[in-house]
């Protein structure tokens, strides 16, 4: 089961990836998470990516494509993966096509997370992310989280913070970059078999059951 998630920032791709990963053991390939990990480890890729990400701009295609090529060729991806956050530009879409062909892989399902700009802005600005396991919650949910809950990746509770690019100043820029550079590639995938437009304004559980139903038919 190889899945591609398309959609604007804040549309719930990361949340659904985690739910599918937990239930079906798929490998979650999030380029954003990979870059944040590289930044935390101060690697060369991380250093290259940081200034672009902080400004809400895209990291240059060559850097992202190299990263995905390395990751997708890994043995763990053979049993199924979810691509989340790649491709985001036309050259990336072309590179993915070639890469999949060379690895003798195919995308079984392509989900487009559709959501209005108003909801995106409010979701992104109130989003908090765990530094260790990348779990995402809203400011409202944060208040109600039981203190006994522990992080999936570290000892003790999750360590939630606001990503620099989720600040009110950067959110508008990210949505603009998405509309200019990523929205145009949706048209290309729309014509592909396995494409489904999903209403991403429903609850995480409701979106998840739409995905599961589609995956069962695929």
Answer whether 199's CB lies under 8 Å from 119's CB: no
d(CA 31, CA 41): 15
Instruction: Give the residue from 61, 27, 32 showing the smallest Cα distance to 124.
Output: 32
- Shortest gap between Cβ of 84 and ligand ADP (angstroms)? 7
- 141 phi-psi bin (left φ>0, alpha ψ -120 to 50, beta other): alpha
- Shortest gap between Cβ of 217 and ligand ADP (angstroms)? 27
Burial 196-211 (b: 16+ CB within 10 A, else e): bebebeeeeeebbebb
Residue closer to ligand ADP (CB basis): 66 or 190: 66
Cα–Cα–Cα angle for 106, 107, 111, rounded to 5 degrees: 175
d(CA 7, CA 114): 6
Binding site for ligand ADP (CB under 6 A): 9-10, 30-32, 35, 52-53, 56-59, 64, 85-86, 88, 92, 165, 174
Task: Examine the residue annotation and report whether 174 is marked as an active-site residue of this protein.
Answer: yes
105 CB neighbour count, 10 Å cutoff: 15
Task: Examine the residue annotation and report whether 127 is marked as an active-site residue of this protein.
Answer: yes
Residues in the chain: 218
Selecting among 18, 36, 123, 127, the annotated active-site residue is 127
Selecting among 36, 88, 123, 128, the annotated active-site residue is 88
Task: Examine the residue annotation and report whether 88 is marked as an active-site residue of this protein.
Answer: yes
Task: Examine the residue annotation and report whether 128 is marked as an active-site residue of this protein.
Answer: no
Residue closer to ligand ADP (CB basis): 33 or 159: 33
Residue closer to ligand ADP (CB basis): 155 or 168: 168
Residue closer to ligand ADP (CB basis): 150 or 164: 164
Selecting among 50, 78, 163, 197, the annotated active-site residue is 163
Task: Examine the residue annotation and report whether 131 is marked as an active-site residue of this protein.
Answer: no
Selecting among 13, 18, 128, 135, the annotated active-site residue is 13
- Shortest gap between Cβ of 78 and ligand ADP (angstroms)? 22
Active site residues: 13, 88, 127, 163, 174
């Amino acid at each position: 089961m190889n899945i591609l998630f398309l959609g604007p920032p804040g549309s719930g791709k990361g949340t659904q990836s985690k739910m599918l990963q937990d239930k079906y053991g798929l490998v979650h390939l999030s380029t954003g998470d990979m870059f944040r990990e590289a930044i935390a480890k101060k690697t060369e890729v991380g250093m290259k990516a940081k200034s672009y990400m902080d400004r809400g701009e895209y990291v240059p295609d060559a850097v992202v494509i190299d990263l995905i090529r390395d990751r997708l060729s890994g043995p763990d991806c053979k049993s199924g993966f979810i691509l989340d956050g790649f491709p985001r530009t036309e050259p990336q879409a072309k590179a993915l096509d070639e890469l999949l062909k060379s690895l003798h892989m195919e995308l079984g399902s392509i989900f487009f997370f559709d959501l209005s700009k108003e909801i995106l802005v409010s979701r992104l600005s109130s989003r908090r992310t765990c530094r260790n396991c990348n779990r995402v919650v809203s400011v409202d949910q944060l208040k109600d989280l039981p203190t006994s809950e522990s992080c999936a990746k570290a000892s003790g509770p999750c360590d939630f913070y606001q990503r620099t690019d989720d600040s009110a100043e950067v959110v508008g820029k990210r949505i603009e970059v998405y509309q200019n550079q990523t929205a145009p590639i949706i048209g290309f995938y729309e014509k592909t078999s396995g494409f489904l437009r999903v209403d991403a304004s429903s609850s995480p559980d409701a979106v998840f059951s739409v995905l599961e139903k589609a995956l069962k038919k695929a």
